[in-house]
Amino acid sequence: MSQPLNTTGVHHHAHHFDSADHEFQASKQGMWIFMVTEVLMIGAIFVGYLIMRARYPEAFHEAHKLLNVKLGALNTAVLILSSYTMVRGVSAAQRGNNKLTIRMLMTTIALALVFCVVKYFEYSHKIHEGTLPGGNYTYAELSMPHVPLFFSFYFIMTGIHAFHVLVGIGLMTWMIKRVKSGEITPEFFTPVELVGFYWHFVDLVWIYLFPLLYLLG
Amino acid sequence: MSHSNTATLSNEIHGDNYLNHSKGLKSWLTTLDHKRIGLMYLATVLFFFLLGGIFALIMRLNLMSYGHPVVDANTYNKLMTFHGAIMVFLVIIPAIPGAIGNFVLPMMCGAKDVAFPRLNLASYYIYLFGALFATAALIGGGVDTGWTFYTPYSIRTSGPVILVLLGAFIAGFASILTGLNFIVTLHKLRAPGQSWSRLPLLCWALYATSIIQVLATPVLAITLVLLMMERVFKIGIFDPALGGDPILFQHFFWFYSHPAVYIMILPAMGVFSEIIPVFSRKPIFGYRAIALASFGIALVAFIVWGHHLFVSGQSELANFIFSLLTMFVAVPTGVKVFSWVGTMYKGSIRFNAPMLYAFGFIELFTIGGLTGVFLATLAIDVHMTDTYFVIAHFHYVMVGGSIMGLVGGMHYWFPKVTGRMYNETIAKWSFGFIIFGFNLTFFPQFIAGSQGMPRRYWSQLPEFDLWNRLSTVGSWFLAVGFVMVAYDMIRSARKGPIAGPNPWEALTLEWQTPSPPPHENFIETPVVTSWPYEYKPSRG
Ligand SMILES: [Cu+2]
C-alpha cells in the first residue's frame, strides 16, 4: 500500500503528498478508518440493545408492536432510494458533469428531508402518547416492566441515526457549494466521493435499525 | 543515510526552522505544522499534569496522619475525581501520541507532515475544548463520582457531572483523530526506502496505539452519551430503579478503559525502544518481536476488560476466563522487557538522562506489570479489590510507565525540538528525585494495601500511619523532581548549548536533519537505505 515519493503530481494536492491520486488514496483510507470508528460506536449500543432484548423478550416484543412499521418501511425505501441518487451524484462528479452532480445531491437532500419529516411524525406521536424512554414513560395501555427500556433504546438508536442524517444534509449542502465553485473536477472529486461514502454508511445503519427495532418479534 | 552535513550547511544558509518559519501568536494558533501542534499538545498536557499533580499532593497531605485532615471529605472526593479524570483523559492518553508522536512520527517516516494536517490541528482544539469543559466542571463546584463514573451513583449525585462527561467525550474524539491520522501517515507517507521492516519501533508502537484509539474510544463515547442521557432524560439503561443494569455500564466502561491502559503504555514502550539501542550503542535485540508484541498487547487488550468486574457479581466462568486472558498480557510484555535487557547486554552504555529514565521505566514497569499478574489472579484480587494495592499497581504502570516515557522522551528529543541541550547534571538529579520519590510514594501503598487499607477513603486508620507518612513524604520528592525537570527545560530551551543535528548519534530519520528541523522537516526528501538500529560500540 505504500507509495514511493516520486514527484510527478501536477494537480491540486497538499505539499506533503506527491500527487492528487496519492492524496485521494490517503483520504479514502482515512474515511474508512473513521467509518470503523462509527461502526464501533453504534455497535456498542446495538450490543446493549441485544443484551436487554435477550433478557426481557416479552417486554421488548410487546413494546415493538407500538412502533409504526409502515412509516419505518417508508423511511427504509426513502433511504435506499437516496443511496441510489447519491451513487449517481458521485459518478457524475467523477465524470465532471457538474449539473447532474448538483441535481443528484439536491435530490438526495430532498429524500433525507423526507426521512426527517417522517421521523418527526413518528417521534411526535410517541411523545403524544407517552411511549417515552425510561422514567418518562406514561403510556397507560401497556404498563409492563422493561417496556420503557425498549423505548430508551429506540430513541437513542434512532436519535443517533437521525443526527447522522442531519450531518449528512449539512455535508451535501457544502458539497453543492463546492461543486458550484468549480473546485470539483474529474481530477479532484475526493470530497464528493467521501460524502457519498458517509451517506451509504448512514443508510446502512438504518438497514440494520429497521428490522432490529420494528420487525424483530 | 547521513544527510546531516549537507542538511546543516543548507540550514546555515537559509536559517529557516519550524520555530522561526512564521512569527506571532496567530501563526502558532493556526499552524498546520505537526511539530508546532505537538508542542501545543505538550504545553497543554503539562499544564494539566501540574493541576492533577497539585490535587494529588493535597490528597497525600490529607492522608498524611490520622485525625489531621487538610480538606473536608466532600472536597477530598472531588480532588480524587479530578485527579483521576484529568490525569487519564487530559494527560496520559494524549501525552505521548499528541506531543511526542506528533512531533516525531512524521519525521521518522521521512514525511513532511502527517497525512491530514488540518485534522491534526482540529484534534488539538477538540482536545482543548474537552479540557475546557472539564475545567468548567471544576470551577462549577466539582464532581465526586470518581473518574470511572460508576452508575447509579453518577446518575444521582449532584454537581456538574455532565460537564465532565462532555469533556471526556469531546477529548475522546481528539484521541480518535490522532490515531486515524497516524495510521494513514504510516501507510501513505513513508519516504522512499522506508519499508515496514525499517520502520522505527516508536512508529510500530504508535500504530498499535492508534488501532486501540480508533476501535475502543468510540465505545467510551457512546457510553458517556448514554450516561448523560441518564441524567437528562432518565433513560434508565444503567439505572436499576428503572429496570436498567449498572453492571452493563461497567462492561462498556472497561471495554474502553482497559485498552486505554495500553493507549497509555504502548507509546512509552515505543519511546524506550528508541532510547535503549541509541544509548547502548547496539542494534536493538528482537526488532520484529518488539514490533509484533505491540500488536499482541493491542489485541489482548480488547478481551480482558472483565478483570475489573471480578467482585461485581459477574459469573464465575466469566471471572475464570477473564483472569486467564489477562495473564496473557504478560507474554508480549515480557517479550519486550527481555528484548530491551537483551539490547543492553554487553552494550557500551551511556548514562545520559534518557537512558536513566529507561532504567527507571524498566524497574517501575516490571513491578507494575507483575503486580498486575497478582491482581489478575482471582483469589488475590477478591481480597485486593478497592485497596491501595490496586492504586499502587496502576500508578507503577501509569506513572512508572507512561510518565517515565513522556519525561524520558522529552529529554531525548529536547535537542531536536529546541536545537539546544538540556543540563545533564540537573537532569540526572531530577531523575534521582523522581525515581526515589516515586518508589517512596507508591511502594508503601503496596504494603498498606495488602494489609487492607481501602482506596478512595478520606480518612485512614491510625495503624496505616507509617505507610501513609512515607507515601506523603515521597510525593514531595516526586514533586521536586518534576519541578527540577521543568526548570531545566525552560532554562535550557533558551540558554542551553547548541546541540547540533544529531547529538546522540542516532540513526532514525528525525536526527538526520537540522535541529530545530526546518518547516518541511527535511531539506530534501530522505532516501532510506538501511535499518535504523545498526549501532556500533564506538561511532565517529
Ligand atoms: Cu484492566
Average pLDDT for B499-525: 94
What is the least distance, in Å, from the CA of A137 to any CA of chain B? 9
Domain made up of A62-137+144-216: CATH architecture: Up-down Bundle (1.20)
Q: With left for phi above 0 and alpha for psi between -120 and 50, is residue B422 left, alpha or beta?
A: beta
The answer to whether residue B139 sits within a structural domain is yes
Contacts of B25-32 with CB under 8 Å at 24 or more apart are B30/B121, B31/B121, B32/B113, B32/B117, B32/B118, B32/B120, B32/B121
Q: How sure is the predictor about A217, in pLDDT bands with cuts at 50, 70 and 90?
A: low
- Residues having C-beta closer than 5 Å to ion ligand 1: B 258
Q: What percent of chain B has pLDDT above 90?
A: 93
The answer to whether residue B531 sits within a structural domain is no
The answer to whether residue B521 sits within a structural domain is no
A6: nearest CA in chain B?
B192
Chain B residues in contact with A38 by the CB 8 A cut-off are 218
Of B179, B191, B237, the CB nearest to A48: B237
The answer to whether residue B315 sits within a structural domain is yes
pLDDT attached to residue B15: 67
Q: How sure is the predictor about A15, in pLDDT bands with cuts at 50, 70 and 90?
A: confident
Ligand 1 centre to CA of B306 (Å) is 8
pLDDT attached to residue B4: 44
Top-confidence residue, B508 or B11: B508
CB-based contacts of B165, cutoff 8 Å, min separation 6: B149, B224, B227, B228
Would the pLDDT of B366 be above 60? yes
Cα B338 to Cα B349: distance, rounded to the nearest angstrom: 17
CA nearest B260: which of B304, B290, B321? B304
Chain A residues in contact with B219 by the CB 8 A cut-off are 40-41, 43-44
CB-based contacts of B90, cutoff 8 Å, min separation 6: B44, B45, B48, B52, B127, B130, B131, B134, B171
CB-based contacts of B309, cutoff 8 Å, min separation 6: B247, B250, B251, B254, B318, B319, B322
Of B117, B188, B190, the CB nearest to A29: B188
What is the least distance, in Å, from the CA of A164 to any CA of chain B? 14
Which cell goes with B43? 504545553
Which of B234, B245, B254, B256 would you mutate first to test chain A, the one with the most A CBs within 10 A?
B234
Would the pLDDT of B440 be above 60? yes
Average pLDDT for B295-302: 95
Q: Which residues of A touch B (CB under 8 A)?
A: 1-6, 14-17, 22, 25-27, 29-30, 33-34, 36-38, 40-45, 48, 51-52, 56, 133-136, 145-146, 148-149, 152-153, 155-156, 160
- Neighbouring CB atoms inside 10 A of B481's CB total 21
Domain coordinates of chain A in residue numbers? 62-137+144-216
User: Which residue type does A28 have?
Assistant: K
Chain B residues in contact with A145 by the CB 8 A cut-off are 243
Task: Verify whether the Cβ–Cβ distance A44 to B181 is below 8 Å.
Answer: no
pLDDT attached to residue A41: 95
Q: What percent of chain A has pLDDT above 90?
A: 85
User: Which residue type does A8 have?
Assistant: T
- How far apart are the two ends of chain B, measured CA to CA in Å? 15
pLDDT attached to residue A216: 85
> Which domain does B476 fall in, by range?
34-512
Of B115, B222, B525, the CB nearest to A45: B222
Ligand 1 centre to CA of A94 (Å) is 48
Ligand 1 centre to CA of B254 (Å) is 7
Average pLDDT for B217-237: 95
- Under DSSP, the state recorded for B89 is I
- How far apart are the two ends of chain A, measured CA to CA in Å? 45
Ligand 1 centre to CA of B172 (Å) is 18
Cα B324 to Cα B246: distance, rounded to the nearest angstrom: 25
Average pLDDT for B502-523: 94
What is the least distance, in Å, from the CA of B118 to any CA of chain A? 11
Task: Verify whether the Cβ–Cβ distance A5 to B236 is below 8 Å.
Answer: no
- Neighbouring CB atoms inside 10 A of B155's CB total 24
CA nearest B177: which of B124, B130, B133? B124
pLDDT attached to residue A143: 87
Cα B108 to Cα B532: distance, rounded to the nearest angstrom: 10
Give the 3-state secondary structure of A61-123: HHHHCCCCHHHHHHHHHHHHHHHHHHHHHHHHHHHCCHHHHHHHHHHHHHHHHHHHHHHHHHH
What is the least distance, in Å, from the CA of B219 to any CA of chain A? 5
Looking at the structure of chain B, the number of domains it has is 1
Task: Verify whether the Cβ–Cβ distance A2 to B190 is below 8 Å.
Answer: yes
